[in-house]
Structures are given as C-alpha cells and as structure tokens.
Amino acid sequence: MSLTRRDLLKSLPLFPALVRAAAPIQGKVKITAIHAMAIQNIAGNCLIRIDTGAGISGYGEAGATGPMARARIATMMPYLLGKDPLSIEVHFHNLTTLMHTYMAHIPTISGIDMALWDLAGKLLGKPVNVLLGGPFRDAIPMYSHGSRELNMLEKGSCRDWAAQIKSATEGFNTFKINIDSTLGVPSARYAATLTSQQLRNVARAYMNVREAVGEDIDIAVHCHNEPDTPSAIAIAKAIEPMNPLFLEDPINVPHHEGWAALRRSTRIPILTGEKLEMVRGFKPFIDAQSCDIIHPDLAFCGGLTGARKIADYAYQTRTPVALHNVGSIILTYASAHFGSAIHNFYRSESALGRPTRHVEKMVKGGAPVVQKSQLTVPTAPGLGLDLDFGYLKSQLVAGEPWWG
C-alpha cells in the first residue's frame, strides 16, 4: 500500500529524537530506488536521490563523481532496496563495514546517509537538526574565500578585494585564502621544501591582506597539504604577525609526528580533516591533540551519522568541529542542520555569495539567508530543500544522465 505524507503524520507524536518519532511508522515505508547525478561547480561531488514507496524522496550529496557513485551504489543495492529508510543507524553499520568483495566507499555512503536523514525529516514532519537532537542554535557562523583575482603581493589588488567583500550583502567576516599561488606551486600536490624567498613572499602577501581588510575581518591561511613539515613550521612563523584565524591543512593528510611538531611550534590554531573519513581518521589527531580544530566534510567523512560520531568523540576533549563545504545547496543545508545540532560547532565553509550565485540558484523561491556571516537554519521538514530541478538540469555535467 502506498502511503502519503499526510497518512503517515496522522499517527505521529512529534518527539524530538529520530528513534521515538519513527516508532509509529517503522517498517511501513520502503526504499524503492537510489540515484546519483553530477552537476557542475560542486568540486567533483554528485547528488544522491533516494525514492520510497510513499512517493517521498530524500536528497544527499556524495564526495564522488556520478559514474563512481553509481558503480558503488550498484554494489550496495541489496542492503537498501526494500528496506525501511528510517533504520538509518542499521544502514550506516551495514554499509560502512563492507569489506568483501569491495571495501566500503565512505564518500558514496555519505551521500546516501545524508539523503536518508532528509527523507526521515520529510516522513516525520521534522527538520533534521531536531531529529539529530538539537537545535543548539538557529543560525550557524560561516566563512568564505579569497577571490581568484586577488593578488596578495599587490597592495592595490588587496585594497580592491577588501572593498568588494565589505560591500557584499552576506556580510562575511571570515575568509580563507589559498597559499599556492603566492608560493608558486601547484595546488594540492606535494611541494619541495620552501625557499627563504617563498617564505618572505608569504609573510608579505598575508600582511598586505591584513592591512587592507583591517582587524575586524578574520583571515585564515589555506593550504592543500602541499608543504612538508619544516616548510609548514616556517609558514606558521612567517604568518604569525598577521594574526591568522587558523592554518588549514599545512601538512600531508595522514597523522604523523609532524603534526604534533607543528602544533608545538606555533600559537596559530591548526585545522584539518576535509579528506579524513569516520572516527578512525580523526581519532589520532584528537588523541594526540595535534590539531586545534577538526574539519570534516559531510559528503566525505560518513554523512550526518558519521560526522555526529566524530563530533561526539571530539567533544570529549572539547575539540571544536568546523565543516568543509564547497558543494551544492544540499551539502550547505546539511551543514547548517549539523552545525545547529552539535554543541562543539565552530563554523562552516560556504560557496554562498559567489559572483555566479550558482548555489543559491539551486533552490526555488527565496535564496538561503546569510546575514552578518550567519546562515539561518531552514525549519521545513528534512533538510528544508525546495530544489529547482529546471536549474539543476541545465547544470548537468556533460554526458551525465538526469538522475541516472
């Protein structure tokens, strides 16, 4: 029998926790299909849609390309088709513990998990942050990025950029700026040990930005794991007079003694984690206190369920949790709900406010509300999305099928 959302809600007590709220309809709705689709400008991620026999769908975002996610979903279908979408913890366990014949692919599972939470909220008539146990806050602090046109070694360019960001309607007061162009090295590739000239350029570049924006705007230094440990320590020393908010991903991803050596060498907060998966990826950093702020990506680390486990572990040492996000409106809203639902939340990255407004165009009606660098958390059921399918269709990656 096909159930409508109205039918489901008739018998529901509106409890704040997922398990209690789901009890009256547990087992009455089944997963009928899972789709993946890639669109432009979301950093290699893809969108996930989970359909049910109740005629209600949930949406997520996976840290994988469309073809990669579809191939992985095919191997996971036996664990999901015909199953109750509200058994989120069961699905998370079954999918993340896969080892044979293929190891669990956490980025694809992340998108599935996110879509299940969106679906749960829609089925139960509650926003995701409430089902996660919150809210601690109704809006979350955000940070944005330096412009590609910004040349930090030119004071005039820095002044032009400062004027631009101060006039933007979102009122972002925190920006991270990539270091690779100032160093003259490829982004996200191992660089040779830095020279004295490169380090002088770094010191001058970030000080130019500080002078241009003043003290009321926070600037963070953004690496993509290019430096080795001696170079990372030298970068921290070079930028310390500029008073950066944090230094992101200054060493290669896996945990090793270099992280602790860097943290001992500087007063600048160290942030990392966008390429780490599950509690197992973050645990060494938290246990050794070799970074100050962890930085998972919900589309990569294990979805909302995996990130909640990470945040709960980090809470034991009062470690703040930031969120990486250069994805779509789905990941942006998921990040807002997650940031609202945990106590130790720090701030979330965002691609909102870009000149193209490509994230804002993904929803119908009003665009996401960002004021004074704060994103208001949607209050509609699920993630609160009203996707503009016409716009999404116009943004398909070349050759990508519509909800393949």
Please report whether residue 372 resides in a domain: yes
Please report whether residue 351 resides in a domain: yes
Answer with the one of 106, 127, 148 that is the final residue of a domain.
127
Residue 193 shares a structural domain with residue 309: yes
Residue 236 shares a structural domain with residue 292: yes
Residue 95 shares a structural domain with residue 152: no
What is the per-residue burial (b if ≥16 Cβ within 10 Å, else e) of 74-113? eebeeebeebbbbbbeebbebbbebeeeeebbbbbbbbbb
Residue 193 shares a structural domain with residue 320: yes
Domains contained in the chain, number: 2
Compute the radius of gyration of the chain from its Cα atoms. Answer: 21
Return the HEC string of 302-332: CHHHHHHHHHHHHHCCCCCEEECCCCCHHHH
Convert the pLDDT of each residue in 80-109 to its tens digit: 999 999 999 999 999 999 999 999 999 999
Q: Residue 15 sits in a domain of what CATH number?
A: 3.30.390.10
What tokens does 88 get? 């989120």
DSSP H helical segments within 215-277, as ranges? 229-239, 257-265
Residue 94 shares a structural domain with residue 159: no
Residue 91 shares a structural domain with residue 195: no
The type of residue at 243 is N
DSSP string, 56-86: -EEEEEESS-HHHHHHHHHHHGGGTTTS-TT
End-to-end, the C-alpha distance of the chain in Å comes to 26
Burial of 361 (0-12, 13-18, 19+ CB in 10 A): middle
Query: How confident is the model at residue 6, as a pLDDT?
Result: 52
Answer with the one of 127, 155, 187 that is the final residue of a domain.
127
Residue 179 shares a structural domain with residue 300: yes
Look-up of token digits 């509690």: 279
Please report whether residue 253 resides in a domain: yes
Residue 223 shares a structural domain with residue 109: no
**CA gap 347, 45 in Å, rounded:** 21
Please report whether residue 397 resides in a domain: no
Residue 100 shares a structural domain with residue 149: no
Convert the pLDDT of each residue in 284-341 to its tens digit: 999 999 999 999 999 999 999 999 999 999 999 999 999 999 999 999 999 999 999 9
Please report whether residue 398 resides in a domain: no
Adjacent-strand bridge partners of 345: 321
Please report whether residue 327 resides in a domain: yes
Please report whether residue 221 resides in a domain: yes
Strand blocks (E) in 29-173 = 31-37, 46-52, 57-62, 139-145
Residue 203 shares a structural domain with residue 332: yes
- Each residue's pLDDT, cut to its tens digit, for the chain (404 residues) gives 344 545 444 433 333 456 556 656 677 899 999 999 999 999 899 999 999 999 999 999 999 999 999 999 999 999 999 999 999 999 999 999 999 999 999 999 999 999 999 999 999 999 999 999 999 999 999 999 999 999 999 999 999 999 999 999 999 999 999 999 999 999 999 999 999 999 999 999 999 999 999 999 999 999 999 999 999 999 999 999 999 999 999 999 999 999 999 999 999 999 999 999 999 999 999 999 999 999 999 999 999 999 999 999 999 999 999 999 999 999 999 999 999 999 999 999 999 999 999 999 999 987 898 999 999 999 999 999 999 999 999 999 999 999 98
Residue 13 shares a structural domain with residue 46: yes
User: Quick count: other Cβ atoms within 10 Å of Cβ 366?
Assistant: 8
Asked if 321 contacts 311 with a C-beta cutoff of 8 angstroms, the reply is: yes
Residue 182 shares a structural domain with residue 245: yes
**CA gap 235, 253 in Å, rounded:** 17
Please report whether residue 39 resides in a domain: yes
Asked if 154 contacts 161 with a C-beta cutoff of 8 angstroms, the reply is: no
Answer with the one of 76, 100, 127 that is the final residue of a domain.
127
- Give the DSSP H or E segment for 284: helix 278-288
Query: How confident is the model at residue 15, as a pLDDT?
Result: 32
What tokens does 151 get? 């040349």
Asked if 111 contacts 60 with a C-beta cutoff of 8 angstroms, the reply is: yes
Q: Residue 173 sits in a domain of what CATH number?
A: 3.20.20.120
Residue range(s) defining the domain that contains residue 327: 139-379
Query: How confident is the model at residue 404, as a pLDDT?
Result: 83
**CA gap 149, 94 in Å, rounded:** 46
Residue of 141, 39, 143, 114 lying closest to 389 (CA atoms): 39
